[in-house]
A and B are shown apart, each in its own frame.
Chain A
């Protein structure tokens, strides 16, 4: 056998392989769409958490004001 001659591998069920590749591609697309939805939900959750944090800060400010008013009425 001469060197540099191409060697080929026989694949009997080529069409099946193609079909499976197509199925894998479909699954990948679905996985991508699911991941996008998860990201969307996560960003919404992050926004909610930021809002909660702001509200908590507001409550904290009000509580400290109440605290000062009740402990030292002369102020």
Chain B
């Protein structure tokens, strides 16, 4: 059973042949190409020569004239009182541009300092420099060392560096051993815990506590 929403109303009073009369609908327009101007109403169209552009009269009193209470003699007087601004402006602009150029040259290109990651040894060196007393940096006078001693010092520094590298690897080995030892200790503790439980159980069985 449908609701019959889209069905035609059978008892409608507006039937298609009666609707035209009742609603007073005008007849449809003629098809394109067959337009007849007989039935169109006529309008009066003004000719082109009759339409004239508006004339603006110069003597029109609607626009007020500026009051001129200024003489040419006054203008000369004012000119004499004022300094020569043209030359001043030129000089100033040249100076300004020069100064700007100098400032640009002085200024660093990047406003924000760019953080560069230093390699490890450079970082350490910078830390050591920071830890030094500032008063002692820069005021050191030149010092001369014999070439043989200098070479010996260089060699010693190299040896020390090698020793430190070895120590680093040794430390790493010790750390690894320590981790292994810790895991063994945990294992050992578990064994002891297990043994203790078993002993308690045996004690309970034997002595019925």
* A7 / chain B contacts, CB cutoff of 8 Å: 146-147
Among candidates A10, A19, A20, residue contacting B143 with C-beta atoms closer than 8 Å: A10
Q: In the bound complex, what is the Cα–Cα distance between A19 and B131 (angstroms)?
A: 10
Decide if A15 touches B140 in the complex (CB within 8 Å): yes
Contacts of B145 in A (CB 8 A): 8-9, 11
Contact indicator per residue, chain A 1-40, by CB within 8 Å of chain B (1) or not (0): 0000011111111111001100100000000000000000
Closest Cβ–Cβ distance, residue B138 to chain A (whole Å): 8
Residues of B within 8 A of A11 (CB): 142-145
CB-based contact A9/B147 at 8 Å: yes
Determine the distance from Cα of A12 to Cα of B145 in the docked complex, in whole angstroms.
Answer: 11
- Chain B contributes a number of interface residues (CB within 8 A of A) equal to 17
B139 to chain A: closest residue by CB: A15
Question: How distant is the Cα of A48 from the Cα of B80 in the complex, in angstroms?
Answer: 109
Contact of B137 with A by CB under 8 A: yes
Contact A12 B132, CB 8 Å, known A6-B147, A7-B147: no
CA distance A13 to B142 in the complex (A): 7
Do B140 and A20 touch (CB < 8 A)? no
Q: Is the CB of B137 within 8 A of A8?
A: no
* A33 CA to B138 CA, complexed, in Å: 34
User: What is the bound-complex CA distance between A23 and B131, given in angstroms?
Assistant: 9
Q: Which residues of B contact A6 (CB under 8 A)?
A: 146-147
Q: A14 with B136: in contact, given A7-B147, A9-B147, A23-B128 (CB under 8 Å)?
A: no
Q: Report how far A15 CA is from B134 CA in the complex, Å.
A: 11
Chain B residues with CB below 8 A from A9, complex form: 144-147, 150
Structural contact, A12 and B142, CB atoms closer than 8 A: yes
Per the 8 Å Cβ criterion, residues 17-45 of B in contact with A are none
Complex Cα distance, B141 from A16, in Å, reads: 11
Q: Which of B177-195 contact A (CB under 8 A)?
A: none
- Does B133 sit within 8 A of A, measured CB to CB? yes
Cβ–Cβ < 8 Å partners of A13 in chain B: 137-138, 140
Q: Do B128 and A8 touch (CB < 8 A)?
A: no
